[in-house]
Amino acid sequence: MADRIILDGALDWQDIATVANGAELVLSAATWSRIDAARAIVDALVEREIRGYGINTGVGALCDVIISRADQQTLSRNIIPSHACGVGEPLGKAETRAVMAAQIANFAHGYSGVSRPVVETLLALLNADMLPIIPSRGSVGYLTHAAAIGLVLIGEGECRHGGTLISGSEALDRLGRVPLALQAKEGLSLVNGTPCATGLGALAVSRLSHLADWADAAAAMTYENLGAQSDPFAEMPLALRHSPGLQQVGRNLRQWLAGSALLAQSAGSRTQDPLSLRAVPQIHGAVRDALVHVADVVDRELASVTDNPVVAGSPEAPEVHSQAHAVGAALGLTMDSLATAAAELAAISERRIDRLVNPLVSGLPAFLAAGSGVCSGFMIIQYTAAALVAENRRLAAPASLDGGITSALQEDILTHATPAADKALAILGNLQTILAIEVMAGAQAYDLQSGSADKAKRTAALYQRVRQNVPFYRDDRPLNAEVAKVRAMIGILSAQLDGDAR
């Protein structure tokens, strides 16, 4: 992982994910110049008393109420606590860092007009890992999440640092900074735009990219234990289906299973394997194709200005434009798509788990248990996988269609981009657990194979890595604790095993 990301132009989803996982974010000199130039335009708008939404007017349904220059600073500050009304458990560390990085990237385009101290303070908090507490519920778009960050900038709210909670004022004091006196437009810019959904969306893309590789690895383990079709993932017939994702999965499976004596001994004993085994390239591949589209949308959002209003021109000829760039329809739709794709990947994994534990089809000891009758083995952990798949099905209902009316009919269509990203991340969490169960079941199945045929080189290496974390299961300890160990392994380890299985 890179230790530093330099923001010079637009960031992409990989940059956001890298910062989310701990890298420092640094702005180039050109970026600071853009920020300063945009602030000079806002100052000119204020000086010339040119009407601009949230600059010298109220916000939402109060957009036609003119605010005097004397009250503009009060308006800017008041926006933050009034919008900080989120509820529920706070976002995690990576999620918070992703949102903050996307917010800084939005200001860095140079069309928002926030002052340098605002961005400097955000950067200082991010890079010192003093992370604002952001309640995860109560947003139809972006306002409540972003306001929780803004609270800390004005010396209010709370931060998480080193595993402890500190006040926003203490966090600023530790950084040698003072609470900001927000100027015209800054309060609105701090709660505006799509950085919440974009940051969470970038994290979702990163996690699904990682878990897609693990899904292929888990499927290879299961197929090696249960497969019987001769040459099921051959390159030529797979190439007849036009799908880059399918071709990638086919290559991955051929590499995982290359040289498997275990698979060779059963090859050809069945004309066609069940779809949960045979259709891995088609289903996993479709997920990968969908992921490419989602990643493109997230990158386009990161390259876009999503503030409202935007400022342009020059201090001599300042311009302010009220658009709807803060509406996250593209992100809402694409996060719904990612959620469905991740749920599909989890669903086929659970079907493969069922085949591993089901003595009616596996040819292995019932439920992969160590002893007949006296041990339940993996019987009930398959129930857990089924429950998580059912939960995913509920979570995969589209958030982008929820709609709603707020602010006295002024905001009368809502696209729910942030909730869409949040539930996509929840599905990805369930997917990671289900894949951990499949990987554990695959390792258990290897130990229960009746013959002595060797595994493929790569699956053998993966099996050894699993056994370094959890031993063979004999109903002698809670199985959920073992799943948690493998789940953690999946979270930090590349499915490629960093080359040691090649």
Catalytic residues, by residue number, are: 53
R_g over Cα of the chain: 26
Task: Please provide the DSSP assignment of 429-472 as one string.
Answer: HHHHHHHHHHHHHHHHHHHT-SS-PPPPHHHHHHHHHHHHH---
What is the Cα–Cα distance from 473 to 494, expressed in whole angstroms? 24
Place of tokens 């010396």: 155
- How far is it, in rounded angstroms, from Cα 130 to Cα 133? 10
Dist. CA 157–CA 138, nearest whole Å: 17
| Burial (0-12, 13-18, 19+ Cβ within 10 Å), 371 | exposed
Pairing of strands 24-27, 4-7: parallel
Helices 29-48 and 93-108, axial angle in degrees (round to 10): 70
Element holding 190 (H helix, E strand)? helix 186-191
In this structure, are residues 485 and 470 in contact, taking their beta carbons and an 8 Å threshold?
Answer: yes
Rounded to whole angstroms, the Cα distance separating 192 from 101 reads: 14
DSSP lists the bridge partners of residue 108 as: none
DSSP state for residue 228 in the 8-state scheme: -
**Cis amide bond preceding 359, omega within 30:** no
What count of other Cβ atoms lies within 10 Å of the Cβ of residue 403?
11
